A and B are shown apart, each in its own frame.
Chain A
Amino acid sequence: MLEFIKIILTPEFLFSVIRVMTPILFAALACMVFIKGGIDPIGIEGIMLLASMAGPVGGYYTNSVIGGILAAILISLLASLLFGYVTLKLKSIEILAGIALNTLASGLTIFIIYYVAGNKGSTQSLTSKVAPIIELKIIKNIPYIGKILSGHNILTYLGIILVFVLYYILYRTPLGLRIRSVGENSAAAESVGINVLKYKYITLIMAGTIAGLGGAYMSMGYVSFFSRGMIAGRGFIGMAAEAMGRGNPYGIFLSSALFGIADSLATQLQMLDFPSQLIQTIPYIITILGISIYSYRHKKVRKVI
């Protein structure tokens, strides 16, 4: 037990929490924007997978990191808008369109990397472009804390900045007010002359971009290549984190951190004498617990009203 606490308190462990929570944070923030604008976020998994594939491939062709990230954003925008076209314009059921998008992504990514890299498993044969690591000047030298907070990928810092930026956009600007009103009661928004469809598409563009950054982080930061199915449920865990964070950016940051801790713990405990199959279930058990607690409290609140 002592050994266990020792592990948790090491700066290396806390550093890895931040590293591991980054993709979940991006996924959860994207889900939050989708849900605020009244769009089902179920396709997030596929959108991120496509982006994580486009990152290294785009980086390879343009021979630049920026090129890779832009390619990731571009493809997730296209996927997000495709989802919007199919559901808003062609009136398909959101869940079905989302599942179709996820299935399409898992097949299409393999096809493209086979075409580009000649391998169905990963893009390791391509020269990899990785987003840069940032050392924070003053913080770096603070003992203990410096080791935890400094030296992360630039996308990680971007994700944390996004928490605040999105809070201000959603709760302090007319744009955010309109997105929220369209998502919650589109008839009311329409009755005051708001173009509902326009704000739905703005939602899709915002959420798509965030999801794209999350995908790019996976293959250009977390690791330096794309491998098949590498999102591995992080999009769905993001949905859970969004629900647990009650749709609030700050709450979402905390719930993403919780998932980060669970995930890192699983990795660390594998080095001790625990059965690894059991340990790998920890993040998912935390998900179920988190959602249950959230729903239970939510139900109580509803009863009081």
Chain B
Amino acid sequence: MTHTKFTRSGLVAAGTSTMLVLAACSSGATDETPSGDALSGAVVIDGSSTVAPLTEVAVELFAAVQPDVRISVGVSGTGGGFEKFCNGETDISEASRPIKDEEAQRCADAGIGFVQLGLANDGLAVVVNPENTWAQCLTVEEVSSMWRPDSPVDSWADVRDGFPDEPIALFGPGSDSGTFDFFTDEVNGDSGAIRSDYNDIGEDDSAAILGVSGATGATAFIPLSFVNEAGGQIKAIEIVNDNGDCVAPSLETVLTGEYSPLGRQLFVYPSDVALEKPQVLAFLEYYINNQAEIAELAGFIPLNEDQEAEALERLNSLIDG
């Protein structure tokens, strides 16, 4: 008895505040959802913990539109999520990488059809001063040599033989940032591992851009979306991926997966069986239609128009097929 009571008041509290944000942020967003019918039933989502924050925001906003749909988000990891997904145990699987061939095969063997929907971009760029002519392309190891904990590197000459003896100035976001976590995890191998004497610009990524533009030897890591905004003040350098290719960061290279490991797209995979449930379809349509707002609230790079259109098209292809 008691738990229903306080949960209900919890729901009301969360619901009301969600409404407020909807009214404030996007007046047009809800219009596109099939809000005519009150839906109910469950939607079971599981998978990557990187994607979870994005989906959680979507779930929270959707709950204001369809409060009776019971959506749960688990974090079994991308692989663990696909295992359950191909077992028919979840409706939607989240993934921070594309599905592997053997995972797709297992789903096929189980007769589970699915489609891959990219719902946000997640990437960051290593940027330098435009006057920096030597660093065109770096390996992850070279980037790490500058940033790893207790790194003694203080000159570009220490990074690679042949680089000029130009002092390095490091700018980066603080430990509260998702960018920080992603960068330290991918580059230094451990989320949060970083040298302590870099210039911490907190949450304000534009401060890093200012810093880098002010010194020839400066470098920083910033979310990909900020590179375009900065115009010519800074330049993004290429990063050597697993195939040994130098790849410049861009939405395209993030999308194709070529820009690795600092770029990736966040995916969700609905199954064809699940899409027969109206509440699953409604949720996904809502998710795609409001992806920009959702990505922003969750701190990711929203899809561009083409990506959004493609996601909708893919979703429809699975429904029609």
| A and B bind | no
